Chains A and B, each alone.
Chain A
Amino acid sequence: MASHYEAPIRKPLVLGDKGYHDVSVDIAAPVERRANKQWWIVFSIALAAFLWGIGCIVYTISTGIGTWGLNKTVGWAWDITNFVWWVGIGHAGTLISAVLLLFRQKWRMAINRSAEAMTIFSVIQAGLFPIIHMGRPWLGYWVLPIPNQFGSLWVNFNSPLLWDVFAISTYLSVSLVFWWTGLLPDFAMIRDRAVKPFQKKIYSLVSFGWTGRAKDWQRFEEVSLVLAGLATPLVLSVHTIVSFDFATSVIPGWHTTIFPPYFVAGAIFSGFAMVQTLLIIMRKVCRLEAYITVQHIELMNIVIMITGSIVGCAYITELFIAWYSGVEYEQYAFLNRATGPYWWSYLLMMSCNVLSPQIMWFKKIRTSIVVSFIISIVVNIGMWFERFVIIVTSLHRDYLPSSWTMFSPTFVDIGIFIGTIGFFFTLFLLYARTFPVIAQAEVKSILKSSGERYKKLRDAGQPLYQINKGANVTSSVTEAESTTDDDTGTEKVSSLLDTLGSFDATKETADDLKKVKGIGPQMEQTLNQIGIFTFAQVSRMTEKEYNLLDEITGSFPGRAQRDDWAGQANRLNNKD
């Protein structure tokens, strides 16, 4: 990996005065905290949508595909549109974790975990459609080349739909392995912090006994690189194969050679937009603004802008070649898109995908969180319509005018789509509560080179490490003595107040320390006796002070650190 030196011109990727411990605390906080009311509300909505979707799926399978709006001409519509849309969204995760890893982009470290989670959850949604859009889904296993009692009846390997089976299943498995490997050190971190036995048990189970030895880390990095090297061609090939579903056909509007790279560009485009949507909310809700900074949002906007331009270039290329080809069917296909009965969807796709990302050329706009959020949603609407336009407008009017028709979805089409959105958010919300949403191990690896604190120290010409001699020595000495006589007690108190600062009742007012979760009336009294009255004092506590405090009070060892009193007090202090 690149060396620790970083050009001073580069902006910090971790904001605030963050050390290694702060990273652990901040990232573990959402997992260790209880869910609040809003989470339960959103989760219930998502779950309801999911259940409604299941109802629609059961209805479809038990009654028949005729419950959908498909007809004899338009045999693919919302089902495959949603399939391609979800697969596309899934691509950004692998892109962020694999491609950005290959390009040594340090900023990916704050977003890769969530992006990969998003990949997995959206590929699961995508994976539903190939099954439920079958007329006889219970024979779905026939797509697998398994020796059987029909005289070894085999599958035909010439169909892109079969390639899809291999592509999607490989993609899901590799992404899952890649994601889980990266999670091992982070699960281990949660495991080591866990105090409840159940939590400890679960996280020991999922972290596979990770101990973080040098050898483990070396292999871990090698595996990550190899998987990234494999996942990159995979990510290209998966969406390419999805695009082959259309491009290998002879349908005007479908048969075009640009589809493979253009679908991939579109997938990155929509996937990044989805990551943007989710992370803008997540950084706020999980209080991760110091890690997912405006710079991250800006860089994602730039990727959205670039891929949006590539997609725009592909649209223009298609239009030009349709004219240039001199093939009337091809020319009509594009005329129909622009001026036919679905002109509005074509217009939506063009304006959402080509025009809207272009405003990102302005720095003011691409660093605005509100605008980024809106654009990221607009892009995903546009990309849904892109797939809809490609699929439906090419099918509903092709070679034989006598088979021209229209398509309109039924509530079942729509219901299943809503159901997948619900399912996606159900999974994602559960993930956000139980998984470390930022790869803490990776963030810690860039903290010294790209953290604001260390950048400032470097700029000031100060050493990055400072050994606080006096305090450390006394605390270790007092520990060794392990006596409880008054002298050492007052010594501890004074050394504690040395760092926390003393309270001057004439100038300051005491805060209600009970607001800090974990501090009860009794503890507040104890703290006051020591001389701690304000949030500001509490917020200065680090591991050393916590230990000192534990020694002085002798009650609830480890409690203060676990509850992150300092972090809580810091927030309370800032609120005032």
Chain B
Amino acid sequence: MYTFSNRLKIGSIILMILGAIGLGIGFVSAPSTVEEAKEMVAAQDDGHGGGHEAAASEHGEEVAHDASHDEHVFHQLQNRPWSALYVAAFFFFMIALGVLAFYAVQRASQAGWSPMLFRVMEGITAYLVPGGIAVFVILVLSVLHMNHMFPWMDADVVAHDKLLQNKAGYLNPTFFLIRAAIFLGGWILYREYSRKFSLAQDEADDNSNFKKNFRISAAFLVFYLISESIMSWDWIMSVDPHWFSTLFGWYVFASMFVSGITVIAMVSIYLKSKGYLPDVNDSHIHDLAKFMFGISIFWTYLWFGQFMLIWYANIPEEVTYFVTRIEDYKLPFFGMVAMNFVFPLLLLMNSDYKRVNWFVIMAGIVILAGHYLDVFNMIMPATVGDQWYIGIPEIGGILFFAGLFIFWVFRTLTKAPLQPKRNPYIEESRQFHY
């Protein structure tokens, strides 16, 4: 039985407090009027040497345009703490959901190597409940016009936008929240039932719970295939409501899948280092690292597929998406490709390195940071535009949700023995060697 070490518990609480303070500072320092926003931008420009100001004065006579521009910047600055909150909330939620998908795949495919890690995965997916609630609350607050992250939620904007009016049948607040509730409900339901059967299997004297788990895992994967796509259109793609890409759902999937697997590896290595997973050997870690490596490449494949096709055809209505990202987010946009592709490709190629635990942890940190940037790149250009910065609110968001994640996951891990007792494949998993 795992006991939540006090140091880790206190650490996670400190993270949450620090994060909450950071987010608080973000919300307090966001401008509340257009004038404030103008001042903030001016102050920032001073810091940058005032080049922008000179350029702005040349267009001084376009007062009307300026006013709308100011208002735009005001909204962007107001969005910043919200986006920081949302990106971090979604990122950690996505990890739990990615782990859930991986877990369901392991169950449905009757993998022989992974049952030893089921409890770790179940512990991580426990975060679906608080994480899902956090994301859902943010979505509800968006619908209540607390922020301007989703332009299509603003009736004024829609009234002047023919394209958004056409999409209103799908992009309308009520339907949006109903979909979110159904998806979250479905995912959490599967997680809870699967956990229940998994624990019951330990005490049972037949395999009926195991079989039930197999069946619901297969059913979940079908639900997940559909719901994950729609979720990504709803929660992420619709922050750029004019833009569309058919690949988007699968691209987001790759991102969450690789982050999830990375976290499984990291948590397993941590628990193993504390002596709680005596039967987990380097071969298990090797397999997880192989998945980190492979899915990283798969993510890059989808990233490139989406980017290259839009770049190649250069159709104006699509290409703006990447134009803004390359112009305003050059470093995060290409830095993410380096972190998510080049780095794992070179580091995790060697099979000896995949068995070195600290090496996997280091690679995992870079992969996670890279996929945080990925989500950042998906949300921020639409919500804060060129007013982005990775500052106190963004780091605050990460710290807060990281603290919550650690706290919740490790608290769940204390609730059941860390190694399943009588899964039909447990002996294969125990003897697993590669």
Binding site for B on A (CB under 8 A): 1-3, 5-10, 102, 233, 236-237, 240, 244, 247-250, 255-261, 309-310, 313-314, 316-318, 320-321, 324-327
Contact = CB atoms under 8 A, between A and B. Distances in A.
A277 B81 CA distance: 58
A10 B424 CA distance: 9
Given A233-B297, A257-B306, A261-B302, A7 B245 contact: no
Nearest to B247: A257
B164 to A, nearest CB: 9
Given A2-B434, A248-B308, 10 more contacts: A1-B434, A8-B424, A9-B425, A236-B301, A250-B313, A256-B309, A260-B302, A314-B246, A321-B244, A326-B167
A313 B245 contact: no
B249 A317 contact: yes
B400 to A, nearest CB: 33
B167 A324 contact: yes
Contacts of A260: 247, 301-302, 305, 309
A8 B294 CA distance: 30
Interface string B223-250: 0011001000100000000001111111
Interface in B8-56: none
Nearest to B305: A260
Contacts of B431: 3, 5
A317 B427 CA distance: 41
B313 A240 contact: no
B interface, over-half SS: helix
B433 A3 contact: yes
Contacts of A236: 301
B225 A309 contact: yes
Given A318-B246, A324-B170, A326-B166, A257 B305 contact: yes
A314 B306 CA distance: 15
Given A2-B433, A2-B434, A7 B250 contact: no
B424 A9 contact: yes
Contacts of B317: 325, 327
Nearest to A233: B297
B251 to A, nearest CB: 8
A255 B427 contact: no
A233 B249 CA distance: 21
Contact of B309 (A2, A237, A255, A317): A255
A322 to B, nearest CB: 9
B388 interface: no
A309 B222 contact: yes
Q: Interface centre among A7, A240, A247, A257, by most B CB within 10 Å?
A: A257
Contacts of A318: 246
Nearest to A316: B226
B309 A313 contact: no
Given A321-B244, A321-B246, A324-B170, A261 B305 contact: yes
Contacts of A327: 317
Nearest to A4: B431
25 contacts: A2-B428, A3-B432, A7-B112, A7-B427, A9-B207, A9-B425, A102-B294, A237-B301, A248-B309, A248-B312, A250-B313, A256-B247, A257-B310, A259-B305, A259-B309, A260-B247, A260-B302, A261-B247, A261-B250, A261-B301, A310-B225, A317-B246, A320-B233, A321-B246, A325-B244
B315 interface: yes
B163 interface: yes
Interface string B241-265: 0001111111000000000000000
Interface string B108-150: 0010110000000000000000000000000000000000000
A248 B313 contact: yes
